Amino acid sequence: MANVRKIARRSFLIGSAAIVGGVAFGAYYVARPAPNPLTPGEGEAVFNPFVAISAEKITLIAPRAEMGQGVHTTWAALIAEELDVTLDQVEVIHGPAAAAYYNTAMMGEVIPSKGYDKSDFMHAISDHLGALGKVMDMQVTGGSTSMKDGYMRMRAAGASARETLKQAAANRLGLSRDQLSTKDGQVIAPGDVAIPFTDLAGEAADLSPVEAPLRPRSEWKLLGKGQPRIDMTGKVTGTATFSIDTRLPGMKFAALKANPSLGGEMRSYDATEALSMPGVEQVVDLGNGFAVVASNTWLAIQAAEVVQADWGAAPVPATHDGIRSAIRAAFDTAPNSTLRDDGDTATLPQGAQEVTAEYEVPFLAHATMEPLNATALFDNDRLQIWSGNQGPILTRNHCAEALGIEPEQVEVITTLMGGGFGRRGEMDFSVYAARLAQAMPGTPVQLTWSREEDMTHDFYRPGAMARMRGAVREGTALMVDAEIASQSALSQAMTRWMGFTPSGPDTAIVDGVFNQPYAIPNFRTRGYVADLQVPVGFWRSVGASFNGFFMESFMDEMAHAAGADPLEFRLSLARKEWEPAAKVLETVKEMSGWTGQTPEGTGRGVAMTYSFGTPVAQVIEVADEDGMIQVTKAWIAADLGVALDPQNLEAQLSGGMAFGLSAAMFGEITFAEGAAEQTNFPDYDGIRMHTMPKVEVRVIEAQEHIGGAGEPGTPPAAPALANAIYDLTGNRPRRLPLMKDFDLQS
């Protein structure tokens, strides 16, 4: 294993070379099945890492982060569909951190193909590369990959468990397996004999698993229909336990305070006054910050404010303009990624009109509704950590390393998450809690970040700039030459997570431009990496979160320059490239009754972005209400390939759009002396009840492959809104957030 990792470190390239590297070093190791992490109890049958049945109950393991996207429900439905149980008959748990739960889809996503045009051969390579996830400790929830990953595997896990149960029943009854059927958690034998699965657990435990083919879609009972979410009752009665709700006997409450100048050290601190405050028990040095331990969280937060610390400087330009200059300077360096270079972008096509525009978007915080926190207990050289995290194996390994113990001495209990959006894929909040617990052995402690601490110590969505050049003639686009500059969130995150920096092009910087399904004959995309140390990371939809705005605002500018209707302009280019992209545009056209005309006082904008395997089109309508711009309506169409749970997909797409609108309208983080200047919701607001448009969603199933759901709703939101504002006001938004240049209802 160590050896494989060493090879991985050397040869892992983000890009095409990874395919070669993957095949060369991966084959012998990745093909070995990972051990089943579930240990059966007395009389319990553990069929595979995802299904366990005892005399009392049926347990399904959904080892992905439940952060609001409903993954536990849909994951369980995949298993239940083949196992023949209903969702109210089972208990669904997240389960432990284990190699068996690696994400088979995630690494496959790094292939720098456009995605929608992947051949079956490319899909096969992605699948192969996906196995690298095991080597890389990728039990990760992110990249909208859960359903791509689980779709085949979980149904197979359910089918195999079902057939094994039937075999146990067949043995008991002296019948053959094909004389039996299953229904609602029971094996049914001729003569109205019904044996509950739970009754067969003991006998099934001794059998080796039976393989079974998957049922055709026409026989599905659960999939394809809206399922009541298994976490819903808990979440409407206040009984769902988020990480911050962990309560252990004798537990102490602590508050974190780290150097606000990000990346700077803590030289010293004086806690004398804090220690004299009521309820305060101790102050613990955590390296670049400290934790105040008290009898409740509020007392700890108050005391943390009065500790006098001597903070070192941040390794970034002192002013925000200095940071912006550093991003702009990247344009003068060699491009890191030129992932599309079709035709000739050097010469303006004969008789064409040139269109140019520059755009800029800010840094953004994740601002998950539940502030970061984790609870830990260190006892007898063992660590237990309760943490709402998107990567339990990495969390386990990072905690072990920080404490100087072995990964086997760490137990990670992954809780429900009050939002993730990419932030909970990081390990920092778990590691701080682990180190605090080590300083107070035998006492469980919950370490909470105040909202201010959370917002000012993020791994931000990087600020980004674009320089776009295009050409139009006869109502259509002949050329797009896009240049995008930002920090590389991918290389920063890989360095933090894996301890090495991948070489090769960073697809994320140009994702949402280079892979857009438009038949533009001369099309080049270059990405430039800004040399900056602002902590950046993955934020819902990653690079597409800014490139969706750049590309689709520019498409609008080109359409207007060409004298074409913005929707028809896109539609004709999409039709020639990839039918599903055209289909989502046609669908929003129909849903919104798009005519290209809007009455006085109303504006409409359209945008379409293909990301994470899913094309999503949105039309957004705005209205002038007493001089203020109100977002009134939104129509969304998305092609998921297979819509496993339409009701939940509607929520994800609508929520993803809301997340994009929040940022587009109000979101901006600026830095002074390397410290974030926005600290809480009053200066980093989101969309709210009165500013949220009415939304209509339609999910279609035209494409062949299953698409992601959590992220693709976000990228088209900003450009669709910006284009609507242009339609209303005649002023073209070229920077975000929009509140800086327009009077938005807030």
Chain residues binding another protein by CB under 8 A are: 67-70, 226, 228-229, 231-242, 244-245, 247, 253, 278-279, 295-299, 301, 367-371, 416-421, 448, 450-451, 647-648, 651-652, 654-659, 661-662, 680-682, 685-690, 692, 694-695
Q: Which residues contact 155 (CB under 8 A, 6 or more apart)?
A: 78, 79, 81, 82, 214, 215
* Amino acid type, 564: A
349 binding partner (options another protein, ligand FES, none; Cβ < 5 to 8 Å by kind) = none
To the nearest whole angstrom, how small is the minimum distance from the Cβ of residue 429 to another protein? Answer: 15
To the nearest whole angstrom, how small is the minimum distance from the Cβ of residue 591 to another protein? Answer: 15
281 binding partner (options ligand FES, another protein, none; Cβ < 5 to 8 Å by kind) = none
Task: Give 63 or 419: the residue with its C-beta nearer to ligand FES.
Answer: 419
Task: Give 241 or 731: the residue with its C-beta nearer to another protein.
Answer: 241
Residue with nearest beta carbon to ligand FES: 369
To the nearest whole angstrom, how small is the minimum distance from the Cβ of residue 94 to another protein? Answer: 15
To the nearest whole angstrom, how small is the minimum distance from the Cβ of residue 663 to another protein? Answer: 11
Task: Give 594 or 684: the residue with its C-beta nearer to another protein.
Answer: 684
Phi-psi region of 562 (alpha: psi -120 to 50; beta: other; left: phi over 0): alpha
In angstroms, the first-to-last Cα distance of the chain is 54
687 binding partner (options ligand FES, another protein, none; Cβ < 5 to 8 Å by kind) = another protein
Residue 402, SS3? helix
- From residue 578, alpha-carbon distances to 114, 238, 575 in Å are 11, 46, 6
Task: Give 507 or 654: the residue with its C-beta nearer to another protein.
Answer: 654
Selection from 478, 712, 471 nearest residue 581 by Cα: 712
Task: Give 416 or 508: the residue with its C-beta nearer to another protein.
Answer: 416
Q: Check if the beta carbon of residue 307 is closer than 8 Å to that of residue 259.
A: no
Task: Give 34 or 232: the residue with its C-beta nearer to another protein.
Answer: 232
285 binding partner (options another protein, ligand FES, none; Cβ < 5 to 8 Å by kind) = none
Q: Which helix (H) or strand (E) holds 356?
A: strand 353-361
484 binding partner (options ligand FES, another protein, none; Cβ < 5 to 8 Å by kind) = none
To the nearest whole angstrom, how small is the minimum distance from the Cβ of residue 653 to ligand FES? Answer: 15
Distance CA 703, CA 400 (A): 44
Phi, psi of 564 (to 5 degrees): -110, 160
328 binding partner (options ligand FES, another protein, none; Cβ < 5 to 8 Å by kind) = none
* Amino acid type, 530: A
To the nearest whole angstrom, how small is the minimum distance from the Cβ of residue 68 to ligand FES? Answer: 5
87 binding partner (options ligand FES, another protein, none; Cβ < 5 to 8 Å by kind) = none
695 binding partner (options another protein, ligand FES, none; Cβ < 5 to 8 Å by kind) = another protein
To the nearest whole angstrom, how small is the minimum distance from the Cβ of residue 619 to another protein? Answer: 16
Secondary-structure percent of the chain, ordered helix, strand, coil, rounded to 5: 35, 25, 40
Residue 129, SS3? helix
Give me the sheet containing 193-196, strands edge to edge.
181-183, 186-189, 193-196
- Residue 504 DSSP code: S
Task: Give 654 or 723: the residue with its C-beta nearer to another protein.
Answer: 654
Q: What are the beta bridge partners of residue 633?
A: 621, 694
Task: Give 68 or 693: the residue with its C-beta nearer to ligand FES.
Answer: 68
Distance CA 583, CA 639 (A): 8
Task: Give 68 or 422: the residue with its C-beta nearer to ligand FES.
Answer: 68
To the nearest whole angstrom, how small is the minimum distance from the Cβ of residue 119 to another protein? Answer: 36
462 binding partner (options ligand FES, another protein, none; Cβ < 5 to 8 Å by kind) = none
694 binding partner (options ligand FES, another protein, none; Cβ < 5 to 8 Å by kind) = another protein
Task: Give 54 or 652: the residue with its C-beta nearer to ligand FES.
Answer: 652
Task: Give 68 or 535: the residue with its C-beta nearer to ligand FES.
Answer: 68
To the nearest whole angstrom, how small is the minimum distance from the Cβ of residue 418 to ligand FES? Answer: 6
680 binding partner (options another protein, ligand FES, none; Cβ < 5 to 8 Å by kind) = another protein
633 binding partner (options ligand FES, another protein, none; Cβ < 5 to 8 Å by kind) = none
Q: Which residues contact 600 (CB under 8 A, 6 or more apart)?
A: none
Task: Give 195 or 433: the residue with its C-beta nearer to another protein.
Answer: 433
Phi-psi region of 636 (alpha: psi -120 to 50; beta: other; left: phi over 0): beta
Q: What are the beta bridge partners of residue 186?
A: 183, 196
Query: Which residues contribute to the site for ligand FES (CB under 6 A)?
Result: 68, 369, 419
740 binding partner (options ligand FES, another protein, none; Cβ < 5 to 8 Å by kind) = none
Q: Spell 323-343 as b/e; 16+ CB within 10 A means b.
A: bbebbbebbeeebbbebbeee
Task: Give 1 or 689: the residue with its C-beta nearer to another protein.
Answer: 689
Q: Check if the beta carbon of residue 376 is closer than 8 Å to that of residue 410.
A: no
234 binding partner (options ligand FES, another protein, none; Cβ < 5 to 8 Å by kind) = another protein
To the nearest whole angstrom, how small is the minimum distance from the Cβ of residue 711 to another protein? Answer: 13
Task: Give 295 or 347: the residue with its C-beta nearer to another protein.
Answer: 295
464 binding partner (options another protein, ligand FES, none; Cβ < 5 to 8 Å by kind) = none
Using a 10 angstrom Cβ sphere, with 0-12 exposed, 13-18 middle and 19 or more buried, the burial of residue 303 is buried
To the nearest whole angstrom, how small is the minimum distance from the Cβ of residue 69 to ligand FES? Answer: 10
To the nearest whole angstrom, how small is the minimum distance from the Cβ of residue 228 to ligand FES? Answer: 16
To the nearest whole angstrom, how small is the minimum distance from the Cβ of residue 515 to another protein? Answer: 26
Phi, psi of 377 (to 5 degrees): -135, 120
Q: Which helix (H) or strand (E) holds 563?
A: none
Residue 283, SS3? strand
Task: Give 550 or 659: the residue with its C-beta nearer to ligand FES.
Answer: 659
Strands 90-93 and 602-611: unpaired
Distance CA 628, CA 327 (A): 33
To the nearest whole angstrom, how small is the minimum distance from the Cβ of residue 483 to another protein? Answer: 32
To the nearest whole angstrom, how small is the minimum distance from the Cβ of residue 94 to ligand FES? Answer: 18
Distance CA 18, CA 292 (A): 45
267 binding partner (options another protein, ligand FES, none; Cβ < 5 to 8 Å by kind) = none
Q: Which residues contact 641 (CB under 8 A, 6 or more apart)?
A: 613, 614, 701, 703, 704, 705, 706, 707
To the nearest whole angstrom, how small is the minimum distance from the Cβ of residue 638 to another protein? Answer: 15
Task: Give 542 or 567: the residue with its C-beta nearer to another protein.
Answer: 542
Q: Spell 438-474 as b/e; 16+ CB within 10 A means b.
A: bebeebbbbbbbbbbbbbbbbbbbbbbbbbbbbbbee
Distance CA 276, CA 372 (A): 27
